[in-house]
Amino acid sequence: MLALAMAAFGAQADDEGRKLFSNVVPACALCHALKDAGAQGEIGPSLDELKPDASRVEKALRLGIGQMPAFPQLSEAQVKALGRYVEAATR
């Protein structure tokens, strides 16, 4: 029962993360390529090639990195959903 609940939670996080990837302002998809999201951005690194884990994505969203700005407008739950989504989409 617990495993089923965790799987449902993971699917919801992936759905939320997928939506955020394309809809957060500025959208991740503008700069990053990510096949699962249909994103072909060429400014930032290709996430399909980089294959960052969730904690790396979360840190980049909180602090920014290189030309990428921080995203202080995102809640902690949104940051975590994006991290989980990118990690799952690139594995």
Give 37-71 as a DSSP string.
GTEE--SS--HHHH---HHHHHHHHHH-BTTBPP-
Mean pLDDT of 29-53: 97
pTM for this predicted structure: 0.84
Q: How far apart are CA 41 and CA 44, in angstroms?
A: 7
Question: What SS3 state is found at 33?
Answer: strand
Q: How far apart are CA 82 and CA 47, in angstroms?
A: 12
65: phi then psi, degrees, rounded to nearest 5: -160, 130
pLDDT at 10: 46
Show me where the domains of the chain are located. Answer: 12-89
Residue 51 structure tokens: 């294959």
Look up the CATH architecture of domain 12-89. Orthogonal Bundle (1.10)
Per-residue pLDDT of 49-90, as tens digits, reads: 999 999 999 999 999 999 999 999 999 999 999 999 999 999
